[in-house]
Amino acid sequence: MHTPYDQIFERNRTWVRETVTRDPDYFTRLADKQQEPHFLFIGCSDSRVPANVITGTGAGEMFVHRNIANLVVPTDFNVLSVVQYAVDVLRVKDIIVCGHQGCGGVRAAMKPHETGLVDHWLDHIRAVVRLHQAELDAISDAERRYERLVELNSIEQARNLARLSMIQAARKHTPDLKVHALVYDIREGLLRELATEVEPVSA
């Protein structure tokens, strides 16, 4: 009996066969050209939210960074390195910060503190709660309050991104660079734009 890990290789071989049948030069083209993605996608690590699948983009079209709850933390060298490479080397034109309904990270941040390393990460979402406390407190339905926090978190992370000095500098060589905040509804499979041309606000 094959394990789920074994099935990865079986599915890979099947995908290669089907791809080459449709397009014999597919892999040769990918290997011979440098990547020139139009998009940088910053999304959640949730396994139900694969960036290329939900956006319908193909190989080479989208540079991707994912972490728990799609956070853009100014002290996180991982996301900062991805963003700098995307804007300075790849010269992407659109940066998408995409949250999703059903996000476990956002839901966990609404509960009392837990122990463990991830709790420190979730404090960045709790900062969004404090920033929008009045609006969230005015929502009586707990599930709707959660859904709104998912949206607000995406907007605030996009704003964190737009505030970065490397983004401001990148606009000099890529003046049409745009930052977008999106949310993906896992229940229906649709993306929705929350804000575009997100601009930084003073900290």
Angle between helices 142-163 and 165-173 (to 10 degrees): 60
CB count within 10 Å of CB 34 equals 7
Catalytic residue of the set 46, 65, 98, 163: 46
> Which stretches of the chain drop beneath a pLDDT of 70?
1, 115, 198-203
Catalytic residue of the set 103, 124, 163, 180: 103
pLDDT value, residue 1: 65
User: H/E element holding 101?
Assistant: strand 94-101
pLDDT, averaged across the chain: 93
Domain boundaries, the chain: 1-33, 34-196
Whether residue 46 lies in the annotated active site: yes
Euclidean distance between CA atoms 97 and 83, whole angstroms: 11
pLDDT tens digits for 33-62? 888 899 999 999 999 999 999 999 999 999
Whether residue 25 lies in the annotated active site: no
- The residue with tokens 């660079």 is 177
Euclidean distance between CA atoms 10 and 18, whole angstroms: 12
Catalytic residue of the set 65, 66, 100, 163: 100
Structure tokens at 63: 């540079």
Q: What's the whole-model pTM score?
A: 0.91
Whether residue 132 lies in the annotated active site: no
Residue 81 CA: distances (Å) to CA of 65, 137, 141, 160, 178:
10, 36, 39, 15, 18
Whether residue 48 lies in the annotated active site: yes
Catalytic residue of the set 11, 13, 17, 48: 48
Q: Is domain 34-196 given the CATH code 3.40.1050.10 in the classification?
A: yes
Whether residue 100 lies in the annotated active site: yes
CB count within 10 Å of CB 37 equals 19
